[in-house]
Structure 1
Amino acid sequence: MAKLIQENDLNNSAVDDTQSPPLASKNASLLSDAGKRLEKALKHIDISEDAIARLRYPKATLSVHIPVRMDDGSLKVFAGYRVRYDDTRGPGKGGVRYHPGVNLDEVQSLAFWMTFKCALLDLPFGGAKGGITVNPKELSKSELERLSRGYVDAIAGFIGPNIDILAPDVYTNSTIMGWMMDQYSIINRQLVRGVVTGKPLTLGGSQGRNEATATGAFYVIEAILPKFDIKPEQTTVAVQGFGNAGAIIAELLFKAGYKVVAVSDSQGGIYAPQGLDIPSIRHHKAQSRRIKAVYCDDSVCSIVEHQNISNAELLALDVDILVPAALENQITAANASDIKAKFIFEVANGPIDSAADEILLAKGIKIFPDILVNAGGVTVSYFEWVQNRNGWYWELEEINQRLKTKMETEVEKTWAIAQKLEVDMRTAAYIHGLNRLGEALDAKGTRDYFKQ
Structure 2
Amino acid sequence: MTAARSAPLVRVTWTDPVTGKNGYLVVHTLVSGIATGGTRMRAGCTESEVADLAYGMALKTATFNLPVGGAKGGIDCDPKDPQARGVLERFVTAMRPWLDNSWVTAEDLGVPQSLIDEVFAKLGLEQSYHAAIRRSPNPERTLQRVHAGLNAPVPGGQLLGDVIGGYGVAQACLGVANAWGWEESETTVAVQGIGTMGGGAAWYLHEAGVKIVAVADAAGTLHDPNGLDIPHLLDLRDRFGEIDRSGVPSSVQRLPREAIVGINADILVPAAVSYALNADNADEVVASAIVEAANAATTPEADAKLVERGIPIVPDFVANSGAAAWAWWLLMGEVGAEPADSFIKLRTEMRSRVAMLMNEWEAGKVPPRVTAIELAERNRAERLAAEAEGGMALTIP
| 2:124 maps to amino acid | S
1:356 and 2:292 equivalent? no
Match of 1:330 among 252, 262, 276: 276
Match of 2:176 among 224, 233, 242: 224
1:309 and 2:255 equivalent? yes
What is the CA–CA distance in structure 2 between the aligned matches of 1:376 and 1:423, rounded to whole Å?
23
Of 359-368 and 163-172, the range deviating more from structure 2: 359-368
1:201-248 per-residue CA deviation (whole Å, 9 max, x = no partner) reads: 995662422111110111222223122111121122111111111112
Q: Identify the residue that residue 232 of structure 2 maps to in structure 1.
A: 280
Q: How big is the shift at 1:403?
A: 1.8
Of 175-184 and 151-160, the range deviating more from structure 2: 175-184
| Pair member with larger Rg | 1
Match of 2:90 among 150, 153, 173: 150
What is the CA–CA distance in structure 1 between the aligned matches of 2:25 and 2:108, rounded to whole Å?
13
Match of 2:267 among 321, 331, 335: 321
1:65 and 2:15 equivalent? yes
Q: How big is the shift at 1:155?
A: 0.7
| 2:131 maps to amino acid | V
Q: How big is the shift at 1:194?
A: 3.1
Name the CA shift for 1:116/1:170 in 2 (closer, same or farther; >3 Å).
same
* Equivalent runs, 1:158-237 vs 2, <5 Å: 158-160=98-100, 163-185=102-124, 194-195=130-131, 206=150, 207=152, 208-237=160-189
TM-score if structure 2 supplies the norm length?
A: 0.84
TM-score if structure 1 supplies the norm length?
A: 0.75
Name the CA shift for 1:223/1:216 in 2 (closer, same or farther; >3 Å).
same
Q: Does structure 2 conserve the Cα–Cα contact (< 8 Å) formed by 1:89 and 1:440?
A: no
What is the CA–CA distance in structure 1 between the aligned matches of 2:239 and 2:285, rounded to whole Å?
33
| 2:2 maps to amino acid | A
Name the CA shift for 1:193/1:365 in 2 (closer, same or farther; >3 Å).
closer
Q: Does structure 2 conserve the Cα–Cα contact (< 8 Å) formed by 1:344 and 1:366?
A: yes
Q: How big is the shift at 1:409?
A: 3.3
Q: Identify the residue that residue 438 of structure 1 maps to in structure 2.
A: 381
Q: How big is the shift at 1:421?
A: 6.2
Q: Identify the residue that residue 341 of structure 2 maps to in structure 1.
A: 398
Q: How big is the shift at 1:89?
A: 5.6
What is the CA–CA distance in structure 1 between the aligned matches of 2:378 and 2:240, rounded to whole Å?
47
| 1:227 maps to amino acid | A
Q: Does structure 1 conserve the Cα–Cα contact (< 8 Å) formed by 2:99 and 2:130?
A: no
What is the CA–CA distance in structure 1 between the aligned matches of 2:95 and 2:234, rounded to whole Å?
36
Q: Identify the residue that residue 29 of structure 1 maps to in structure 2.
A: none
* Equivalent runs, 1:1-400 vs 2, <5 Å: 40-42=1-3, 56-67=6-17, 75-88=18-31, 91-139=34-82, 143-160=83-100, 163-185=102-124, 194-195=130-131, 206=150, 207=152, 208-286=160-238, 290-291=242-243, 303-387=249-333, 393-400=336-343
| 2:98 maps to amino acid | F
What is the CA–CA distance in structure 1 between the aligned matches of 2:128 and 2:239, rounded to whole Å?
35
Of 361-370 and 399-408, the range deviating more from structure 2: 399-408
Q: Does structure 2 conserve the Cα–Cα contact (< 8 Å) formed by 1:66 and 1:150?
A: yes
Identity %: 26
SS of 2:278's partner is coil
Q: How big is the shift at 1:312?
A: 2.1
Q: Does structure 2 conserve the Cα–Cα contact (< 8 Å) formed by 1:414 and 1:432?
A: no
Q: How big is the shift at 1:395?
A: 1.6
Q: How big is the shift at 1:383?
A: 2.7
Q: Does structure 2 conserve the Cα–Cα contact (< 8 Å) formed by 1:238 and 1:260?
A: yes
Name the CA shift for 1:422/1:261 in 2 (closer, same or farther; >3 Å).
closer
What is the CA–CA distance in structure 2 between the aligned matches of 1:287 and 1:164, rounded to whole Å?
27
Q: Does structure 2 conserve the Cα–Cα contact (< 8 Å) formed by 1:264 and 1:291?
A: no
5+ long unaligned stretches in structure 2: 134-142, 153-159, 389-397
Q: Does structure 2 conserve the Cα–Cα contact (< 8 Å) formed by 1:177 and 1:196?
A: no
Q: How big is the shift at 1:112?
A: 0.5
What is the CA–CA distance in structure 1 between the aligned matches of 2:216 and 2:374, rounded to whole Å?
33
Q: How big is the shift at 1:168?
A: 0.4
What is the CA–CA distance in structure 2 between the aligned matches of 1:147 and 1:405, rounded to whole Å?
39
Name the CA shift for 1:273/1:200 in 2 (closer, same or farther; >3 Å).
farther
Q: Does structure 1 conserve the Cα–Cα contact (< 8 Å) formed by 2:166 and 2:200?
A: yes
SS of 2:105's partner is strand
Name the CA shift for 1:288/1:94 in 2 (closer, same or farther; >3 Å).
closer
Name the CA shift for 1:266/1:173 in 2 (closer, same or farther; >3 Å).
same
| 1:118 maps to amino acid | T
SS of 1:124's partner is coil
What is the CA–CA distance in structure 2 between the aligned matches of 1:377 and 1:202, rounded to whole Å?
13
1:163-196 per-residue CA deviation (whole Å, 9 max, x = no partner) reads: 110110001112222134324536xxx8885338
Q: How big is the shift at 1:154?
A: 0.3
What is the CA–CA distance in structure 2 between the aligned matches of 1:201 and 1:88, rounded to whole Å?
23
| 1:408 maps to amino acid | R
Name the CA shift for 1:191/1:365 in 2 (closer, same or farther; >3 Å).
closer
1:52-103 per-residue CA deviation (whole Å, 9 max, x = no partner) reads: 6xx6211011111233xxxxxxx42331111110013651100000111211
